[in-house]
Amino acid sequence: MNKFLNILGFAVLSIFIFNTFIRNHAEADVKESYSKIIQGKAIIIDVREESEVKEGMIKDALWIPLSKIDANPKAEAESIKKLAQGKEVFLYCRSGARSGKVQGILEKEGVKSVNLGGFSSLSNENLPTQSGPK
């Protein structure tokens, strides 16, 4: 019985961790969000690291890696606020976990943002992509 409860507890914890930190989901409708970007009403930021963005990025995305944001959160949040100039801010990474972390950092600094999840799910939604920075 004890072994069963341990297994059950592990399964529940695993599902919680997956849903909270790993699941590749968007907090907003992806197509509608990208439409706002095209209309100039929003910006989109890729927070993946250099080796990842070389595989491609969402078209018109700004690249600000999490490592840069982590190094100086206040300054980077202020920079993002200036880049956005009152526009909505959308974030993405590989799976949605790092963009969620950046969302928390920005929120702490007074910058509202929306986590769109991961690159693969965004490209699966047929959002246009471009080559990453050289």
In the residue annotation, 62 being an active-site residue is answered as no
- Element holding 77 (H helix, E strand): helix 73-84
Report strand pairing: 88-93 vs 129-130: unpaired
Cα three-residue angle 61-67-68, rounded to 5 degrees: 70
Of 61, 64, 93, 106, the active-site residue reads 93
Tell me the backbone φ, ψ of residue 46, rounded to 5 degrees: -95, 120
Active-site residues, by number, are: 93
